[in-house]
């Protein structure tokens, strides 16, 4: 039971870090797509990109022992593994795939 609670806390912290990291970009003006693209985005693409964000967070944490020694490598790892999938999941307007 203890491991489950600990894992939940770690996942929650990582989730809020991703949200806080991508929050300033959410103030952008959104553009609406057509209905079919919105449904496909909501049903297929968003869940897959959420999974990619979660996997990227795990990979980022796993890469910390190797990247923490260099600010440039740490920044690149955070950008490519967490920020890009996170912004694609949470910031991108629904139905827009650009």
**14-61 pLDDT, tens per residue?**
665 556 555 554 444 455 558 888 899 999 999 999 999 999 999 999
pTM, rounded to two decimals? 0.62
Angle, CA of 85, 91 and 93, to the nearest 5°: 115
Give the per-residue pLDDT at 53: 94
Give the separation between CA 38 and CA 47, rounded to whole angstroms: 13
Q: How far is 22 from 30, CA to CA, in rounded Å?
A: 15
């Amino acid at each position: 039971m203890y491991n489950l609670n600990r894992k939940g806390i770690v996942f929650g912290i990582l989730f809020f870090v991703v949200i806080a990291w991508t929050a300033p970009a959410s103030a952008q003006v959104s553009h609406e797509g057509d209905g079919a693209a919105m449904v496909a985005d909501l049903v297929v693409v968003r869940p897959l990109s959420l999974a990619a964000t979660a996997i990227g967070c795990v990979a980022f944490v796993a890469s910390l022992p190797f990247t923490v020694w260099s600010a440039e490598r740490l920044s690149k790892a955070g950008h490519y593994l967490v920020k890009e999938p996170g912004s694609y999941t949470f910031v991108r307007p629904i139905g827009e795939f650009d």
